[in-house]
Each structure stands twice: as C-alpha cells, then as structure tokens.
C-alpha cells in the first residue's frame, strides 16, 4: 500500500475526525507520533494538537536512519542511509490514539512509515524498514493465505527495578532476590501499583504479577491479543515502566542479564492460531474514562476457534494446524534466535542454564527443560526470547516459520517428556541453539524462510546493524581480559 492509498482510506478518514473529537473532549494539547526502530526503541516526533488534521494527511519527516537508531557502523560508514538520503514520512494511525495517564494533556499514536513522496524510486512506497507496518502487512497476508488464521500472542516480560547511585548508575535491586516471595513483592508495591494504574488506563488488561528470582525483578502479565496489538502493548508497557522509574528516581531495567549468578530477564512468547472472532471484540473495561470507540480499548481474547486446542484423544496434543505451526517454529528455531536473543548480552542468559534458560530446539508439554512447551491446552510457549526483544520482528519471523510449518506440514517430532539434559545423555539427537550473537546471525543468514519475515531492506539493515554490534563487542578489551591475562 502506498502513502496516498493509506492516507485517503475512508475508514481512516472517519477515525481522523474521531481523534479530533477526543482531542477536544479530553483537552489534549500535544501528540507524540511514534514508531519503533529495528532495535525496538521508540522513536518519533511531538506536535501541537491543533496541527492534527494537517499532520494526519501530510505526516512528519525524519531521516531514514532513525529506523536503525544508529547512523554509523564501527568503521564510520553509514548503515545504508547517508546524509544525502531523503527523509521517511510517518503517517499516524488514528486507531492507536491513547492519552498518557501521567500527563493528560499529551496523547500518543503509532505511525506507519513510507518512503518520501519526492523520491525518484518508488515515491511514497511502504518503507520496509518499518517493523510495525511490516508485521501488520505480513499478518494480513498470513490471514489471507491461510483462510483467516490469525496469530495471538501473550508475552511475559521480566524486568528489574534497580536503585540509582548519586551518579545515576545502577546500585543493586530495589528488593531482595526471593522468587514468588510476597514480602519482596510487597516492598515493590508503590512501584508496581503505579505501573498497574497506568497500564490499565492504556488498555492493558492486567491479569497477574509476581516477584521473580533476581533483585528487583518483577513479571506483570496482561491478557494476550492479536500479535500486532500485543507488540504495541509490550512497547507501551516499556514506556510506562520508564515513566514510573522517572517518578521514583530508580531504573527500569529491561537489559537481559545485568548481574552474574542470578536469573536474567526472559520474555516468553505464548501463542496460538485462531479462526474468526473479530466480531467478539470486548472492551478491556478497566478504565471508565478511557476512550470508548478506539480499537486500543478492545481485545479479541477467546473469540473464535483456537486451532491449538487438542482435537483428538490426547488432552494436551495441539490440533493439526497448531502442530504444523509448532513444527515450523521448532524447525527454524536456530535462525529465530537471532531475533529472540538479539543482543550480545542475551547469550549470557543462555550460558547460565542453572536458571532454566532453554538452549535446545525441542518441545514438550509442561517441560521447562525444552525450548518450547505447551504450557496449557491451546497455547504454546516459546521460551528462549528475552526482554530486549523487538516484539514486531519476533512476530513477523514467527509468522514466517509458522507459515512454512503449515505449507510443508512440518513435524515437530514427539514431545520430549524427559529432562532434556538426561535425554541427551541417553543419546537423543537434538539441535542446540546458537550460543552467541555471531552464530545466531549466521543461522539467520542460512535460513531464507525466516528472512521472509524481514522483507525488503529489513533483513539487510538488521543483519548489518547486529553484525556491527557483534564486531564492536569482539574487539572490546574487557575487565575480564585484563584480570585473566595481564600476568600470564
């Protein structure tokens, strides 16, 4: 879809008017027009709300490099976009309008990114470096191809609340490292209650929370929804935590493994494939002042048929479409690791297996030694993903793997019921996940199916950026080097 078709869409035009009404009713003065970089960072511009109609039509401009959020590689060369390149155009998606609960004069909206209208080549075309727009398109294509099959995802982001020292540097956890401990949960009450308040106001249906193994480590869960909507909510959740950290003068840490010898922060992705249910939208219903009418305040949950539900005699074994999709994910798990474990630091988690981090491309029921498990009838949990993940890229590459599984009826093999380490000791042959970022990027390069989840220039940008990150790390002399080798 090009920029003018998108802008002129009659349904969107109606929503643009709807947003004007909300701006006036709620007294909104300022709008954040947001998008997400390929590394998962939230980028964008702010505009005064009285310019809404003109920006809704023309969009805003920003350098193409903002989609990568770093312009130069370690050799001082540009990642694809030099200073001579035109600027991207971000067109706001009015259905994502949401007032910020911490300053009600401000509202945010996500944008879809396009190539500049003045470009010689493909003017106003879809910008393939836009991970959110890309996921939306690929999910629509997937639904068309598979007779309405849609992916719903629920994520479990773990993160740590850390104290700051006088220089603003992390100074240990805000609570003690006791897993599931109510007293430690209690010591974080002022913080998590604030997160809950903002989350519910922003359309996240919060369902549970607990204290995890590491200092200051919490996991708060909200209800799953279609893959795009959940990725938006995870992004919103990160924004909320950053705000709460500012209010409390602490750090909201989503880095995967900031401390040695204690658990890291995972972000399990639970998923299922559904048919129908679009007419079963129900309001999140958390906040009466919220914005009825906007899609953000509704969810699909449990409308339609879940193809992951068992359809045979076995009370756990997923139905046929589910099983084939799982087959695709198991089959492509090594390449998916480059997206799910996307940083150098991610692999510290995978090495420290004492904390149940999964390192094998195998699946089972309720078996926490495997990389993937059926965690409850009708849902399937991908466990090696961590909290630094870009959920849009994760969603689009999972779709690519599931699509291959369904097309080729890929068999995930028999579910592993044993402890996988013991099974391996007993001679089981199973693929190991990549154990560093370089190996994962190679697995991605070798997997054209997973690359389909990163079409256009997305794959090139992602791999160039991440290879550069890996090289920067490899040429860094660390404290550990000096300690270990200085007096050799």
Nearer to Mg ion, 219 or 469 (CB): 219
Nearer to ligand ADP, 209 or 293 (CB): 209
Q: Nearer to Mg ion by C-beta: 66 or 339?
A: 66
Q: Cβ 140 to Mg ion, closest distance in Å?
A: 28
Contact 331, 411 (CB under 8 A): no
> Rounded to an integer, what distance in angstroms lies between the CA atom of residue 172 and that of residue 258?
10
State which of positions 174-233 bind Mg ion (CB under 5 A).
Answer: 219
Does 272 contact ligand ADP by CB under 6 A?
yes
Does 212 bind ligand ADP (CB under 6 A)? Our answer is no
Closer to ligand ADP by Cβ: residue 80 or 277: 277
- Site string (385-414) toward ligand ADP, x via CB under 6 A: ------------------------------
Which positions from 267 through 306 interact with Mg ion, judged by CB under 5 A? 268
Name the segment binding ligand ADP (CB under 6 A); options: 96-104, 267-275, 327-335, 352-360: 267-275
Q: Interface with Mg ion includes 386 (CB under 5 A)?
A: no
Residue 268 near ligand ADP by CB under 6 A: yes
Q: Is 154 in the site for ligand ADP (CB under 6 A)?
A: yes
Q: Is 271 in the site for ligand ADP (CB under 6 A)?
A: yes
Rounded least distance, CB 156 to ligand ADP, Å: 5
Q: Binds 202, which of Mg ion, ligand ADP, none (CB < 5 to 8 A, cut-off by type)?
A: none
Stretch that binds Mg ion, among 152-160, 323-331, 341-349, 359-367 (CB under 5 A): 152-160
With CB atoms as reference, the residue minimizing the distance to ligand ADP is 154
x-or-dash string of contact with ligand ADP, 371-390, rule CB under 6 A: ----x--xx-x---------
Taking residues 283 to 312 in sequence order and writing x for each that binds ligand ADP by CB under 6 A, - otherwise, the string is -----------------------x------
Q: How far is the CB of 61 from Mg ion (least distance, A)?
A: 7
Q: How far is the CB of 381 from ligand ADP (least distance, A)?
A: 6
Number of residues near ligand ADP (by CB under 6 A): 16
Nearer to ligand ADP, 253 or 267 (CB): 267
Q: Which one among 108, 115, 146, 152 touches ligand ADP, defined by CB under 6 A?
A: 152
- Tally the residues of the chain: 488
Residues within the interface to Mg ion (CB under 5 A): 156, 219, 268
Q: List residues near ligand ADP by CB under 6 A.
A: 152-154, 156, 221, 223-224, 268, 270-272, 306, 375, 378-379, 381
């Amino acid at each position: 879809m090009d920029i003018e078709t998108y802008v002129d869409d009659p349904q969107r035009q109606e929503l643009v008017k709807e947003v004007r009404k909300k701006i006036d009713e709620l007294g909104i003065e300022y709008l954040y027009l947001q998008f997400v970089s390929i590394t998962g960072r939230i980028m964008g511009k702010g505009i005064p709300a009285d310019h809404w109609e003109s920006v809704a039509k023309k969009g805003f401009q920003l350098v193409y490099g903002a989609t990568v959020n770093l312009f130069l590689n370690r050799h001082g060369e540009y990642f694809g976009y030099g200073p001579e390149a035109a600027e991207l155009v971000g067109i706001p998606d009015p259905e994502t309008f949401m007032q910020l609960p911490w300053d009600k004069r401000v509202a945010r909206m996500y944008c879809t990114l396009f190539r500049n209208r003045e470009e010689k080549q493909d003017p106003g075309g879809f910008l393939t470096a836009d991970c959110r727009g890309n996921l939306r398109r690929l999910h629509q294509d997937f639904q068309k191809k598979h007779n309405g099959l849609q992916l719903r995802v629920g994520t479990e982001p773990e993160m740590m609340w850390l104290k700051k020292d006088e220089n603003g540097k992390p100074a240990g956890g805000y609570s003690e490292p006791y897993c599931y401990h109510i007293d430690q949960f209690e010591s974080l009450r002022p913080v998590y209650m604030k997160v809950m308040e903002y989350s519910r106001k922003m359309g996240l249906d919060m369902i549970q929370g607990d204290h995890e193994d590491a200092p200051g480590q919490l996991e708060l869960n909200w209800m799953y929804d279609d893959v795009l909507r959940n990725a938006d909510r995870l992004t919103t959740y990160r924004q909320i935590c950053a705000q709460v950290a500012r209010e409390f003068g602490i750090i909201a840490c989503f880095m995967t493994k900031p401390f040695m010898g204690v658990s890291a922060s995972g972000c399990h992705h639970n998923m299922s494939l559904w048919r129908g249910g679009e007419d079963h939208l129900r309001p999140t219903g958390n906040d009466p002042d919220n914005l009825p009418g906007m899609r953000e305040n509704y969810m699909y949950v449990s409308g339609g048929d879940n193809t992951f539900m068992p359809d045979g005699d076995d009370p756990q074994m997923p139905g046929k479409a589910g099983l084939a999709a799982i087959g695709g994910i198991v089959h492509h798990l090594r390449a998916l690791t480059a997206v799910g474990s996307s940083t150098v630091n991610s692999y510290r988690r995978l090495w420290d297996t004492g904390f149940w981090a999964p390192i094998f491309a195998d699946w089972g029921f309720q078996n926490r030694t495997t990389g993937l498990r059926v965690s409850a009838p009708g849902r399937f949990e991908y466990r090696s993903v961590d909290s630094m993940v870009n959920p849009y890229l994760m969603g689009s590459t999972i779709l690519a793997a599931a699509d291959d599984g369904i097309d080729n009826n890929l068999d995930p093999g028999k579910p592993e019921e044993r402890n996988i380490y013991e099974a391996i000791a007993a001679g089981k042959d199973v693929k190991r996940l990549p154990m560093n970022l370089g190996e994962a990027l190679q697995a991605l390069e070798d997997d054209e199916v997973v690359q389909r989840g990163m079409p256009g220039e997305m794959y090139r940008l992602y791999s160039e950026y991440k290879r550069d990150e890996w090289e920067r790390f490899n040429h860094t002399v660390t404290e550990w080097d000096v300690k270990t080798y200085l007096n050799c």
